[in-house]
Structure formats: structure tokens, C-alpha cells
Structure 1
Amino acid sequence: MTLPTDKILRFLRSVHPYDSLAADTLDDLATRFQVMTIGKGDPIYAVGSPMQGLYLLYDGEVEVRDANGSPVSLLGARNSFGERGLVRDGNALTSARAATDSILLMLPRADFDDLMASERAFARFFDRRRNDTRRGSDLATSRVKTFMADTPVTCPPVTDVQQAARLMHDNRISSLCIVDGDRLAGIVTTRDLTGRVLAPGLPCTTRVQDVMTRDPLTLSPSAIGSDVLHAMMEHRIGHIPIVEAGQLVGIVTQTDLTRFQAVSSAELVSAIARSGSADEMARVTAEIPRLLVQLVAGGNRHEVVTRLITDIADTATRRLLHLGEQKLGPPPVPYLWLACGSQGRQEQTGVSDQDNCLILDDAVTPEQMPYFADLARFVSDGLDTCGYYYCPGDMMATNPRWCQPLRVWRQYFQGWIATPDPQAQMLASVMFDLRAIGGDKSLFEGLQKDTLHAASRNSIFVAHMIANSLKHTPPLGLLRGFATIRSGEHRNMIDLKLNGVVPVVDLGRIYALKGELTEVNTRARLQAAEAAGVVSTAGARELVDAYDLIAETRLTHQLARINAGDAADNFMSPTTLSDFERSHLRDAFVVVKTMQSSVGQGRGMLS
């Protein structure tokens, strides 16, 4: 079948990112697409075959499968496939076939590469690597909506100045927004009351409409901090109402700017290190959501954000250990407190429980064990007070099983490796993420090295660990792009932790096990696996790109929750994403699924 160029052109104008191209560029591009008619069930390309170009589905449906033939997604009209993220060394990582009689438009690889090099909007859409434009965190580049006060106090124009002063006093604010119906009519500040009411001796019954600043300068929530700073400096004002679609949605004051800049991980760490009790620390850790907002809004990469957030938990743990020793006396033998889970991997976000354990020197006696039980309880209770809630699975040092001498820990790992039943697999997965937090670190160094060496050489254990790691799969659906939760309070949402970052965390752990890599952080494991030749360079880099996108989507979702006044969580509705975001997130999940398939089939670990 052939399609007239004008028909192709009309179609391209309805599809992003082609609709962003200049008219002459699009006119030329319409002549470069090759029209392909594919019958139902016919292949389009196979895994490992050279990718001829970018495919755009004009009509029909196309099914994409991974390297093992498992369905990944069912694409409809206006969907693209075959872009760089799903190609390795020019060859396809997936296969595609027509699920119905279909018409495809294929842009040859050379033309696709030319557009990637010359058209920024096109490149940003199709290349995840170029999509990372994040910068360092500072006020100047942060969006106003991340630090504005979103519940401004208001009053009508007929309010008298005494009532206005009382409102400001009672709410501990220095300005009032004056609204007339739905319209922002003006603003009045404490300086206005001093200069325009008290100084000229006006009566207390004067209406605020007579002394307010009419039609004040406003900004939108999408403005950035530098817009606020420049406006305040230029106009010599200290309050700027934030208006969206004609509605007052917030206000920014100089106090907001100071407060935003004052929150930093270093400040929180310093405050925790000086705290004298868990209650004092809790007042500091309560600032973590605001710090998360600032770090994410300021454009920090996810591995920077989670590292800074985890540093706070580490400091709180060490401070509690110190306070515990002050209360209980010096420890009878050396010990080491370790964290596992997200704290162990230095990947904490705005939602964290505690996963920890104690390794004791082999010289410990039964009579000395109650000391460490009391220390574990003191620290775990303190962490819970600080917002790091108790582990639902009781993977904590308060459980006697996880507060043992070094020799017992060696027996644990030896037993898990020798008899990899389901419980052993689960426990080994958790404990392979251990990281020393406070105490005698030498208690762990030999254990970690010896365990990795023994585990990597037990093929049966490795096989069981691989099988266990594949239990968490990306939320890929056939019809709508994502497989959402079907029932319960999170119905129609996707779990960005369990089905998002966890599958990559599991892959990173397998690579570390296979290569005897001591890194615990997931991103560091992937990079170390590439350097050690455990996974191919192309595979590792694609997986890192996919992980970055998933992890940053998770943090952006948590940012939105906090800004809306809700607690951060991991459950996101795909409907909150744009077509652009859904397309790239789906591609990231496909990369993860493909790498899972490779590991499951014994591939994906070769350079």
C-alpha cells in the first residue's frame, strides 16, 4: 500500500514530537518515511536483527516481545518503537510482530540520526540520555510552587485596618492578600499599616482598600526562584502573590526564601549530631520532607538526593548509639551496627522503615547479651521516634536472631548458601545489602569478602538467587502500556518501589554476587558490574539509564505528594504523566524486563 505524502504529513502533525518540528523540516521528513503494510501475525523484526530505523504505527496494532518471547506491550496508532533505548550495537533487544493488519511508517536509521543531531525537541523525546538536564539545587533554579505558602490569608476590601492587623498578628504573618470575589484586588503589609495608617494618624476603622497596594505584582507557580529574587530587588518589595488562571494560589515572602535556603542536609546532620534525645532528633528529621522537596525541585539527581537523605538516617543511628552507651555504660565487647534495605544501599527517600542488625565480637558471653538487647531497643525505639518506623518483617537488631556474635553470622550465611530454600533466598537478599553504620567495622570486612567468595562459587545458590530476583517484574501491560494494581486503595496505580526500582535493585544484587563486588548501592553496583565485565557495557548503561528514569519518576511523585500536603508514598497513577513521560517510563520498564530475561536465561552477564 502507498500513502500520499500529504496524508503522511497530516498524520505527523498529530503526533508528538513531530508536531514540534518546523514546517519545512516536516515537509521534507514526510517524504523520507517508508510505508510498510504488514499482515496479521507477520514479523517486523527479530531479536538481534539490525534495526533498520524508527517505526511509527499509522494504523493497526503491534506486539513487542522480549528476548525470551514474553509479551512486553501492545502498541496502537501513533506509537513509535525501535528507538535507541531498545537497540544495542545497532541490533534489536526486542522482537515485534503485527497483532492485526497494520500500516507502518519507517524512518530510515540515517534520517533518524540526522534528526537526533539537529532537532533538540526530537532528541529530547527519543533519547533518555539527552533528557537529563538537571542542575544543582539552589533557590534561583527552583520552581516557585515548591517553596511558596500555598494557603495565603485573605480578607475582603471592606475589612478595617484593625481587623487586618489582628489577622496578621494571630497568623504570625506580615501581609494580607485582599480579594474581591475571585479576584486579587491588592495586598497590605505591616509596613503599609505603619506608613499609611499609623504615621498619618488614620482611624482604626479605615478600610484596607484605602491603604492597600492595588493590582500588585504577581507571578505564576511555574516561575523560578530567580524571578522572585529579581522582582523583589527591582521593585523593593518583600511579598509576591502567586496567581494561576486568575486565581490566588499562594504567596512568597522573604521569609519563605530564607527558610527554603536554610534547609540543607548538612544543617540537619549537624543538628542531629548535637541532639540530646530522640525527641530532639525527631524535630530535626521532621524537616526531611521539606529537604526532599528542595533537593528534587532543585534538580539534583536521584542518587544524590537519596544519599543525602540516607546520611541523615546514618547520623541519627550513630547519635542514638552514642546516647545508648551513655545511658547503659560502655559496651562489654566490640560491636558493629549495620543497616540493610534502602538505608544499607544509601537509597532512602521520603518513605523509610528501619532494617538493621548487630554483629558482636566472638568474645561476648551470655551474661553480656542483655546489654546489647537493651542497646538495640534503645536505638530502634529512637529511630521509630524519628520517623523510621519499625520493620514489618522484624528485620531489626531488637530481634535476638539479628543480634549475634560474628561466628553465628558466619553460620547464617554458610547455611543460606548451602541450603537455598525460599526463606534463605529472602534472608540472603536482605543481608547482601548490609552496610556498616557504627562500631567496629573490622567485624564485617572479613565476613563480607568470605561470603561473596563462597556464594559466587555455588552455582545452585546463584541460580536460586536469580530466580528469587525475578519475582518482582516491571508493571508492563499489553493494552494500555502499564499493568496497574487491580483492587484496594491503590487501584489503577503502579507501585514505583516494588515494581519500579526493586527489579533493578535485585539485578544489581545478582551482578554484585556474580562478580564478588563489595558495592552495596544499586547504581554503584551496576557501574562496577560493567567495569568488571559481569554485564556488557551496552547492557549496563541501558539499565543505568532506565533505573535513573524510574527512580527520578518516583522522587518526582513523592515531591508532588508532599506539595499537596500528603505523606510521600510509592503509588502513582499513570494518568498523572504526560504522553511524553509515559512513553519514556514504558521504555525504561522494557529495558529492565529485557535485562531480567537475559539473566533468567543465563545471559546478560557476559561482556
Structure 2
Amino acid sequence: MNNHNQRFIYSIVIPTIAAIAMFVVVLFVIIIPMFERSMMDKKQETIIELTNAAWSVLAEYEQAHLNGEYSLEEAQQKAADHIGNMRYGKEQKDYFWVISEGLTMIMHPYRPDLLQTNLAGFTDDHENKLFENAAELVASEGEGIIRYYWQWKDDDTRVVPKLSYVKGFPQWQWIVGTGIYLDDVDAEIRNLKQRLLVISLLIVGFTTLVLFYVLRQTNSIEQRRQLAEQQLKQSLQKYKSLVEASSEGTLMVVNEKVVYANSKFLDSLNLEPGHDIVGEDVSHVFSEDWQQLVSGIDDPKQTSSFELKLLNAKAGRETVVASVSLVGEAAQGGYIVLVKKVTEQKRLRLDAERFADDIQLSLQMMNQPVNNLVRPNAYCSLNTHITDAAQLMTDHKTKFVCVKSENSVIGVVTDTDLRARVLAQPQFSDRAVSYIMTSPIKTINKDALLFEAVLKFKKEHVSHLLVENEVGQIVGHISNQQCLEMQRNSLSYLMKEIEDCSVIEELKRIYKRVPLLIQAVFTSTDNINSVSRIISSIADAISVRVIDLAQQQIGKPPCEFAFVVMGSEARGEQTLKTDQDNAIIFESDSPAYKDYFLKLAQIVNENLHAIGYARCNGDLMAGNPEWCNPLAFWKAQFDQWIVSPQPQTTLDSSIFFDMRTVYGEGQLLTELQNHVQTTLDQNPGFFRHLAQATLQSRPVFEKPRVDIKKFLVPIVGYLRVMALRYRIADANSLLRLKQLTGYGILAEDEAEELEEMYKFLMHLRIKWQVTLILDNDQPQNTIAVHNLTEIERVTLENITQQIARLLDRLKAVGN
């Protein structure tokens, strides 16, 4: 007998047999005796009530005698006859008997031979002096129970045990009694025992069959397990050589235990001499929950990447990227893990991207044509009085006026001229502008680049340049101050200004400069994604500064937290028409902590609104108690959305699947997103509900106005569903698209079509918002159809059809 069979017998067979034995013992030692006692008690209650009924007959005739209706002899005779005729039981053969206290038989319906005889010394077949016992019991107790043997009802050939209840009638010195035959009770007990014995045998038989079936199944499973273990060992031997030869840190994990680690990986750990990690639990290597990480990996051909914290590394807790692949079947729990140290590499890459964006932005602004900054001129003649020229400047809200002679501009007067040549020299105050104007004029062509204008300002030492068109006509002017403002609007300079702000009003002034910055970038680049990222970066920087100022106001937070944004800001796709979508995740669950973070969030939401980021109409903001909660609550909230989806809640919650940390501990959001991805892997049906929510956003090309945002929603929604389904962590739509294409999930032509649609719609949306802002109007997502060019109208109609086909493909994704 092998160890497995022994374990089976000791852990299953013996406990089962013991349980059956205990069942039988309890049945026959406790339950049946209790049942027998219960039956006897009921029988005794019955004969007591019957005897009391007969006794009441005696009392009735006694009362009749006392009333003078009968003499004593007549009353006694009638009472004896009445009781002698009383019967009960199924066959109406059960009876009563009456004796005197002097042991004379007064009445017995089935033993007439005993009537009027002295019963002293009368015994049953077992030498029981039943009548003497009855008399003694009544004399001492007045009533009671006696046991004896007596003939079966009217059958004097059959003697059986009997139980009688006797009660004295002291007025006449009589004793009345009746009894039950105990063989009825014995028969019922025997029947019960037989039925229970049959049931016990059936249970034992059924249990034996189940045990036999379980034994066969466990033997079969054990054989398969041993075979799988043998195959896994063979696989591990093959992979071991690959692991050792790998240039990356590599380890093998089986059943959550490290079974092998190559020297490259061991070198990265802070281990004592001679110490190894083989045999240790994988939780001692990585800080994240291993079972949760690998729960969605069930295909040996699939490799999943995770950002993990490496414990006990030489550099302390070190962030690494682990690529995990399944070895064999998922049930065997074998995995190959390749570990890459990318922390420094990632930091350098991000710094390079920011630097490239900053350089690109600066070059784009300084390489735009002067024509984008031209302002209209105010004109006066040579003979215009100086005070009139000053009034003209005030009326036109300008610091510059052109002096004309014979339709030609021959000079200019600036506020600098007024200060230097009028206020400083009062003798010129009542003269014409010709006395103080600067001449000859300095001009620049409207197609010249902005950096050329900067160079000319430095060369000519003037505050304004007149702008002329291709035929030499003066069309307006630009100022040196405008060029300085454009230089100041480089992204890095703007970020530094935001960091240095100490009051909300300063942030508000910077926010008002954003449209000018975006207009400069927008007119000099086709990369619409860069434009959106710049808008989102500025929003992030302002949010960070607002949170810092709020903390200065109410004190430092009581625990780690993350201020996260959702929707377009999380995706890096903000436009100039935006509102707040944010939340707070904090580490510990405490009412006092929540009170602090709610207060913090409400201050932040109010100040962002004051700066220019409008409140969310749906109240999806951290200042709402529903969206300011501990990490555990957020996990439970996402579980509810995913495990028990409802059409409206799925539609409302879709924005939360695009989240990004703006301030605080990013690991909180990372842990939440890992939990969400695991829950999604375990509930693939949720993608059908998420797809269905996206299908509701089908755009229509309508007149007189068209909402560009409604065209973007299905594209963004489609990419969100696909990214979540295929475990793509990036939130940005174009980055999601690139990864879906890179992994071969989307075809190249389909991806190219989606990218062109997305870029066209975002370009059109931001262009229209910039136009509105420059016209001193509020930015909108809707455009009047008559403001569209013919090409734009045709393109939108084509996009409407393409989105319809896209949504049809999404139906298949959801099924």
C-alpha cells in the first residue's frame, strides 16, 4: 500500500466509518430509548384522562344520591353498570374495572367470575398481587400506576403485560382503574428498530460505494499528478539551461516557490555569503501578490509584463519590469520570470521626452510667422495734436499710433515717445505729433518668422515694428513685448512659473495665457497629440501646485494618498473645453482620514474652478464623498462594477477605467489597476457590457451644429475596451492604438484608419476652440456646419460611416 492510499484511508475511510458507527450508537442507545419513553408517557397520560372520566361518573351518581334521587345502593349499582358499559380503543374492547378498598371485585366486564369475591392474595402469572398493590397505592397516594400481567381484553387464553392507572373514590371506598397493553408499545418499537436498521444499512452501502468511487478518482488524479510532476521536472531541466545562459536576471517559480535563479539575478540581491533564495516563497522576492499577478496567465505562448518592487535588492526596494511566461499547464504552477532593471532607463527616457517636447514647443513658437501676432494699427495725421494722439491710444487700447501723410505711414508715436518727449519736455505738450514722432519707420514682412522679429527688435532698439504685406502695404504692427511673452510661454518656463506661484490668482493669470500658447503650437505643428499632451501637462502642474497650497492651508496628510484624474486628462487628451474629473485614493481606512482628504479635495476643487477648470456637471470630483475613499473601498467598487454590471452603471463608470496619478503615491493606483485587471480577467463577460455602453454613443452628422466630441467618444471607447481586454496599461488612445497594432491585435490598415480619424477630429476640435477664444468667446465642442469647409464636411460624413463600421466590429468584441 503506497503513501497516498494510506493517507486516503486515515483521512477519509476511517473518519467515515467512525461517523457511521457513532450514528448507529446514538440511534439505538439514545434516540430509540427516548422515543420509547415518549410513547410510554403518552400512554400514561391517556389512561389517566380515561380513569378521571370514569371517576367523574362515580362522582355524578354520588351527587344524585346526595340530592335524594337514588338510594346509596341504587346509586352504586347504576354507577357500576354505567362504568361496566364504557369502552374505548380501536376495537372498543378496552374497559374499566372497579374494586373496593376491602379488595372485593365490584365490577369487571370480562371476569364475571371475580365479581363479589375477595381478591386478597390474588396474583397474576408472575406472582404480582395486583389488586393488593392497587389498594396499597390508593391508600398511600390516592392514585397511581401499577404494572402486572392480564388477559388480552376479552381473550382469556392470552396473557400480556399491562400498565394500569388506579384512583380511589373515598366517598364509597371504591377504586376505579383502567390500563393499556404494553405489547402495543413493544410492537411499535420493534417496527421503528427494523426501519432504522434498514436505513442504516442503506447509508453504509451508499457510503461504501461513494468511498470506492472517490478512491478510484483519487488514484486516477494522483497518477495524472505524478505524470505531470515528472513532465514538469523534465521541462524544468530543459529551461534551467536556458535560464543560466540568459543575459537577464531570470528565475523559475513552481507552486509559488523559487526553484532556480541564475547568477545574474542573484548578483542583484543583497544576500549573505553562501545564502541562496532557492526554496523560498516568491513573496520574499517581490512585494506584489504572486497569485494575483499570474491569475490571468493561462497560455504558455503568452508573456505578460508587470512593474514590480524587488525586495532585498542591493539598491534597496528596486522597481523592475518582470516578464512572466507559463511553463507547461497553469495547474502545475510553473513560470519563467525575466527581470529587467529599467528604473534609471525609464527616468532618462521620460526626461528626454520632456526635453524634446520643450525644445519642439520653443522651436514651433519661434518659427511661426509674424502674421499670427499682427495687431491692427491706429492712425493719425501729421497735424494731429499730441493730446489727441494720446486719447487715440487710450480709445484703441494700444501703446502705439501710426502717423500718416498722403496715405503713407511716415512715422510712429509710442507711449515711450510721450513719456520721453512730452512729459519730460513740457514745451512740446501743445504741439502736433510731427514734433515727437519716431521716423523713419521700421518694418518687417508678415511672412518673416518670429525669431527674425526678435533679432530685428534687438538690432533696431525699437518697441514696435510695422508689418507689411507682399506688396509693401502696412497691415498692422507687432510689439517687442509680444515676442517676450512668446518666449516666456515655453513649456519649461511656464512650469517654473506655476511652481513658484504662491496664490491662486497667479495661477489664474497663467491659465489665461494657455490659449495663446496652444494657438502658437497649433499653427506650427501637425502633431495633435503633442498639443493635447501640453494642455494636460499644464493642467497637471496647476493641480499639483493647488494641492501643495491646500496642504499648506490645512496641514500635511495623515497617510499616503494619490490624487488621480480620469477621462481625457488621464489619457493626456485634454482640449481647451474641459472640466474636472478627479478622485482621491488613500491608504488607510479611518473616518478621521476621510474627513481630512474630503476637506483637502473640496479646497482643491474650488480653487481649480476659480482658476478656470470648471466643476464636473456629474460631480465626478474628489470633493464628492463617493469618490474620496480608501484603497479597499475602490477595489470593492470596481469589483461591483465588473462582477455585477448594470447598463447605466457600466456607462457611468467607464470614465474610471482611464485613471492616472497626478499627485501623491502612484503605487496606490498601480495596486488598484492590478486588482482591476485581475478582476477583469476573471469576469470576461464585463467586456460585453462595456462594449454595449460604447455602442450607445453613435454620432450623427446633423445640422445646423455638429458635436465633435460625440464623434471621438466611440473611437476612444473602442480603444479602451480593446486595451482592457488585452491587458494594455497605457491610457492614451494613440499609445493604445500603437500597442494593439504592435501585438497584431489590430490590422495595420484598420489602425491607420482609426489614427487618421482621431487626429482629424482632435485637430478640428482644438482649432475651433482656439478660434472662439481668440474671438473672446467661450470654447465649445460644437461647430456650426456653415463654419466648416467643404473638405471638412465631406470628411465628417465619411467618418460617420467609418464609426458605424467600427461599432459593428465592437459588437463582435463584446460577444
Q: Into which bin does the TM-score normalised by the smaller protein fall?
A: 0.5 to 0.7
Asked if 1:564 is matched to 2:772, the reply is: no
> Which of 430, 435, 439 is residue 655 of structure 2 equivalent to?
430
- 2:707 matched residue in structure 1: 495
How far does the alpha carbon of each residue in 1:86-118 deviate from its partner, in whole angstroms, 9 at most, with x for none?
xxxxxxxxxxxxxxxxxxxxxxxxxxxxxxxxx
- Which of 688, 691, 702 matches 1:484? 702
- Using the TM superposition, name which of 217-226 and 365-374 deviates more: 217-226
Aligned partner letter, 2:705? M
Aligned counterparts of 2:437 and 2:571: Cα–Cα separation in 1: 54
- How far 1:339 sits from its partner (Å)? 0.4
Contact in 2 for aligned 1:546/1:589 (Cα 8 Å): no
Kindly provide the CA deviation profile for residues 239-263 of structure 1, in whole angstroms up to 9, marking residues without a partner as x. 3345789997642122222222221
Q: Distance between the aligned counterparts of 1:397 and 1:211, measured in 2?
A: 60
**Secondary structure at the residue paired with 1:287?**
helix
8 Å contact kept, 1:155–1:177: yes
Q: Describe how 1:37-76 pairs up with structure 2 within 5 A.
A: none
User: CA shift at 1:538, angstroms?
Assistant: 2.0
Instruction: Select which of 413, 428, 447 maps to 1:189.
Output: 413
Task: Establish whether residue 290 from structure 1 lines up as the match of residue 516 from structure 2.
Answer: yes
Preserved contact between residue 346 and residue 521 of structure 1 (Cα < 8 Å): yes
Q: Which residue of 1 aligns with 2:599?
A: 374
For residues 322-401 of structure 1, the aligned pairs below 5 Å read 322-361=548-587, 363-401=588-626
The amino acid that maps onto 1:175 is: F
- Given that 2:571 and 2:732 are in contact with CA atoms closer than 8 Å, whether structure 1 keeps it comes out as yes
Q: How far apart are 1:549 and its partner, in Å?
A: 1.6
Hey, what does 1:523 align to over in structure 2?
734
Separation (CA, whole Å) in 2 of partners of 1:474 and 1:213:
58
Please show how residues 160-171 of structure 1 align to structure 2 within 5 Å. 160-165=385-390, 167-168=392-393
TM-score, normalization: structure 2? 0.50
User: Alignment partner for residue 147 of structure 1, among 373, 378, 385?
Assistant: 373
In structure 1, the partner of 2:69 is: none
Letter of the aligned partner of 1:188 in structure 2? Answer: V
Moved more, 518-527 or 295-304: 295-304
Quick one: structure 1 residues 298 and 471, their matched pair in 2 at CA, closer, same or farther if it must change by over 3 Å? Answer: same
Structure 1 residue 325 displacement after superposition? 2.3
Measured against aligned partners, the alpha-carbon deviations of 1:111-159 in whole angstroms (never above 9, x if no partner) come to: xxxxxxxxxxxxxxxxxxxxxxx99743443243432335x44435541
What does 1:394-543 correspond to in 2, within 5 Å?
A: 394-475=619-700, 483-485=701-703, 492-499=704-711, 501-543=712-754
SS at match of 2:543: helix
One-letter amino acid of the structure 1 residue matched with residue 710 of structure 2: L
Shift of 1:391: 0.5
* Structure 1 residues 598 and 249: CA distance shift in structure 2, 3 A: farther
Contact 1:279/1:386 (<8 A) preserved = yes
SS of residue paired to 2:685: helix
Quick one: structure 1 residues 155 and 454, their matched pair in 2 at CA, closer, same or farther if it must change by over 3 Å? same
Q: Aligned AA for 2:783? A: M
Distance 1:180 1:474 in 2: 58
Structure 2 distance, partners of 1:173, 1:200, is 23
Paired residue type of 2:756: D
Question: Could you say which residue in structure 1 is the equivalent of 2:159?
Answer: none
Assess if the C-alpha contact under 8 Å between 2:365 and 2:521 holds in 1.
Answer: no
Q: 2:540 aligns to what SS in structure 1?
A: helix
Q: Is the 8 A contact 2:688 2:813 kept in 1?
A: no
The change in CA–CA distance for 1:210 and 1:316 in structure 2 (over 3 A counts) is closer
How do residues 103-252 of structure 1 correspond to structure 2 at under 5 angstroms?
137-150=363-376, 152-165=377-390, 167-168=392-393, 174-178=399-403, 185-190=409-414, 203-208=428-433, 224-225=449-450, 228=453, 238-242=463-467, 250-252=476-478
Offset of residue 509 of structure 1: 0.8
Cα distance change, pair 568–241 in 1 and its aligned pair in 2 (3 A): farther
- Once the two structures are TM-superposed, the CA of residue 584 in structure 1 deviates from its matched residue by 4.2
Query: SS of the residue aligned with 2:465?
Result: strand
Q: 1:544 aligns with which of 738, 752, 755?
A: 755
305-314 or 196-205, which deviates more: 196-205
285, 301, 317: which is aligned to 2:527? 301
Q: Does the residue aligned with 2:744 lie in a helix, a strand or coil?
A: coil
State the Cα RMSD in Å. 3.6
Q: CA deviation at 1:284?
A: 1.8
Q: Distance in 1 between matches of 2:496 and 2:478?
A: 28
- With normalisation by structure 1, the TM-score equals 0.66
Render the CA deviation track for 1:349-398: whole Å, top value 9, x for unaligned: 2121101111121x322233211111111111111111111100000111
What percentage of residue pairs aligned between the two structures are identical? 27
CA change 1:328–1:307 in 2 (3 A) is: same
Aligned partner (choices 483, 486, 489) of residue 257 of structure 1: 483
Q: Deviations over 1:490-515 (max 9, x none)?
A: xx12112222x222211221111111
Q: Map 1:261-276 to 2 at 5 A.
A: 261-276=487-502
Residue aligned with 1:442, SS:
helix
Does the residue aligned with 2:604 lie in a helix, a strand or coil?
Answer: helix
Tell me, in whole angstroms, the C-alpha distance in 1 between the residues paired with 2:426 and 2:505: 49
Greater alpha carbon shift after TM alignment, 503-512 vs 161-170:
161-170
**Would the alpha carbon gap of residues 229 and 507 (structure 1) be closer, same or farther in structure 2, given more than 3 Å must change?**
same
The answer to whether the Cα contact below 8 Å between 1:484 and 1:494 also exists between their aligned partners in 2 is yes
Query: 2 CA distance for matches of 1:450 and 1:531?
Result: 25
> Higher Cα Rg: structure 1 or 2?
2
Mean Cα deviation higher: 531-540 or 372-381? 531-540
- For structure 2, which runs of at least 5 residues remain unmatched after alignment? 1-359
Which whole-Å CA distance do the structure 2 matches of 1:454 and 1:416 have between them?
10
For 2:162, the equivalent position in structure 1 comes to none
Given that residues 691 and 813 in structure 2 are in contact (C-alpha distance below 8 angstroms), is that contact kept between their aligned partners in structure 1?
A: no
Q: 1:547 to 1:188 in 2, by over 3 A?
A: same
Counterpart residue identity of residue 626, structure 2: R
Q: Is the 8 A contact 2:505 2:611 kept in 1?
A: yes
Partner secondary structure for residue 286 of structure 1? helix
- Cα distance in 2 for residues equivalent to 1:135 and 1:358: 32
Tell me how far 1:602 sits from its aligned partner.
Answer: 3.8
The residue identity in structure 1 corresponding to 2:666 is K
Distance 1:246 1:467, change over 3 A: farther
CA distance in 2, matches of 1:394, 1:216: 57
Q: Give the stretch that moved more between structures: 564-573 or 439-448.
A: 564-573
Distance change in 2, residues 1:514/1:188 (3 Å): same
Task: Give me the whole-angstrom Cα distance separating, in 2, the residues matched to 1:198 and 1:397.
Answer: 56
| Structure 1 CA distance for aligned equivalents of residues 510 and 448 of structure 2 | 29
Long gaps (5+) in structure 1: 1-133, 476-482, 486-491
CA distance in 2, matches of 1:315, 1:136: 18
Q: Distance in 1 between matches of 2:439 and 2:477?
A: 16
Alignment length (residue pairs)? 454
Residue 452 (structure 1) shift: 2.3
Alpha-carbon spacing, 1:204–1:376, altered in 2? closer, same or farther (3 Å): closer
